Amino acid sequence: MEVLIRLQHRLFPMTEPQAFRRFAQTAQKWRDLIDRRCAHFVELHKSGRWKHYYDEAQFLLLMREAVDLAETWSRIAPRPQDDGDRALAKADPLTSPRRRSAA
Protein backbone atom coordinates (compact mmCIF):
# COMPACT_ATOMS: atom_id res chain seq x y z
CA MET A 1 0.00 0.00 0.00
CA GLU A 2 2.76 2.44 0.89
CA VAL A 3 4.55 1.74 -2.40
CA LEU A 4 1.37 2.47 -4.36
CA ILE A 5 0.97 5.83 -2.65
CA ARG A 6 4.58 6.71 -3.42
CA LEU A 7 4.10 5.75 -7.04
CA GLN A 8 0.98 7.86 -7.29
CA HIS A 9 2.77 10.75 -5.62
CA ARG A 10 5.60 10.55 -8.14
CA LEU A 11 3.21 10.42 -11.07
CA PHE A 12 1.03 13.30 -9.96
CA PRO A 13 3.61 16.08 -10.40
CA MET A 14 4.41 14.73 -13.86
CA THR A 15 0.81 14.99 -15.06
CA GLU A 16 0.01 18.37 -13.48
CA PRO A 17 2.11 20.45 -15.93
CA GLN A 18 0.68 18.49 -18.83
CA ALA A 19 -2.87 19.14 -17.67
CA PHE A 20 -2.08 22.82 -17.13
CA ARG A 21 -0.52 23.09 -20.59
CA ARG A 22 -3.57 21.44 -22.16
CA PHE A 23 -5.89 23.79 -20.27
CA ALA A 24 -3.82 26.81 -21.33
CA GLN A 25 -3.91 25.74 -24.99
CA THR A 26 -7.68 25.25 -24.87
CA ALA A 27 -8.18 28.60 -23.14
CA GLN A 28 -6.06 30.33 -25.81
CA LYS A 29 -8.20 28.76 -28.54
CA TRP A 30 -11.35 30.11 -26.90
CA ARG A 31 -9.73 33.52 -26.49
CA ASP A 32 -8.67 33.53 -30.14
CA LEU A 33 -12.24 32.67 -31.12
CA ILE A 34 -13.76 35.55 -29.18
CA ASP A 35 -11.07 37.92 -30.48
CA ARG A 36 -12.05 36.93 -34.03
CA ARG A 37 -15.69 37.53 -33.12
CA CYS A 38 -14.85 41.04 -31.90
CA ALA A 39 -12.88 41.72 -35.08
CA HIS A 40 -15.88 40.53 -37.11
CA PHE A 41 -18.22 42.96 -35.33
CA VAL A 42 -15.73 45.80 -35.79
CA GLU A 43 -15.54 45.01 -39.50
CA LEU A 44 -19.35 44.90 -39.74
CA HIS A 45 -19.50 48.29 -38.03
CA LYS A 46 -16.82 49.90 -40.21
CA SER A 47 -18.37 48.65 -43.43
CA GLY A 48 -21.96 49.37 -42.41
CA ARG A 49 -22.97 45.82 -43.32
CA TRP A 50 -24.41 45.30 -39.82
CA LYS A 51 -27.51 47.16 -41.03
CA HIS A 52 -28.29 44.24 -43.35
CA TYR A 53 -28.36 41.75 -40.48
CA TYR A 54 -29.33 43.60 -37.28
CA ASP A 55 -31.19 46.60 -36.05
CA GLU A 56 -29.11 49.06 -34.03
CA ALA A 57 -30.16 47.79 -30.59
CA GLN A 58 -29.41 44.16 -31.47
CA PHE A 59 -26.05 45.04 -32.93
CA LEU A 60 -24.97 47.11 -29.94
CA LEU A 61 -26.07 44.36 -27.56
CA LEU A 62 -24.10 41.72 -29.46
CA MET A 63 -21.05 43.95 -29.72
CA ARG A 64 -21.11 44.73 -25.99
CA GLU A 65 -21.43 41.02 -25.26
CA ALA A 66 -18.43 40.26 -27.49
CA VAL A 67 -16.33 42.97 -25.81
CA ASP A 68 -17.31 41.72 -22.34
CA LEU A 69 -16.41 38.17 -23.31
CA ALA A 70 -13.09 39.34 -24.76
CA GLU A 71 -12.24 41.11 -21.51
CA THR A 72 -13.23 38.03 -19.49
CA TRP A 73 -11.12 35.72 -21.65
CA SER A 74 -8.18 38.13 -21.48
CA ARG A 75 -8.25 37.67 -17.69
CA ILE A 76 -8.70 33.89 -17.94
CA ALA A 77 -6.06 33.33 -20.61
CA PRO A 78 -3.59 36.21 -20.63
CA ARG A 79 -0.92 36.30 -23.31
CA PRO A 80 2.70 37.23 -22.49
CA GLN A 81 2.43 40.46 -24.51
CA ASP A 82 -0.63 41.44 -22.43
CA ASP A 83 1.63 41.88 -19.39
CA GLY A 84 3.67 44.44 -21.34
CA ASP A 85 0.49 46.26 -22.39
CA ARG A 86 -0.71 46.41 -18.77
CA ALA A 87 2.66 47.73 -17.60
CA LEU A 88 2.51 50.41 -20.31
CA ALA A 89 -1.02 51.38 -19.28
CA LYS A 90 0.04 51.75 -15.65
CA ALA A 91 3.08 53.80 -16.63
CA ASP A 92 1.28 56.25 -18.91
CA PRO A 93 -2.52 55.88 -19.11
CA LEU A 94 -2.85 58.74 -21.61
CA THR A 95 -0.78 57.12 -24.36
CA SER A 96 -1.73 53.48 -23.82
CA PRO A 97 -4.28 51.82 -26.12
CA ARG A 98 -7.73 51.64 -24.57
CA ARG A 99 -10.66 49.39 -25.23
CA ARG A 100 -13.94 51.10 -25.75
CA SER A 101 -17.38 49.66 -26.02
CA ALA A 102 -19.47 50.17 -29.11
CA ALA A 103 -21.86 52.48 -27.29
Give the domain ranges of the chain: 30-91
Query: How long is the chain?
Result: 103
pTM over 0.75: no
pLDDT greater at residue 74 or residue 91:
74
pLDDT greater at residue 84 or residue 96:
84
pLDDT surpassing 50 at residue 22: yes
Is residue 3 very low, low, confident or very high in pLDDT (cuts 50, 70, 90)? Answer: very low
CB 34 within 8 A of CB 66: yes
- For residues 82 and 69, give the distance between their C-alpha atoms in angstroms, rounded to a whole number: 16
Is residue 20 very low, low, confident or very high in pLDDT (cuts 50, 70, 90)? Answer: confident
Positive or negative, the Cα torsion across 79, 85, 89, 94? Answer: negative
What pLDDT does 5 receive?
Answer: 47
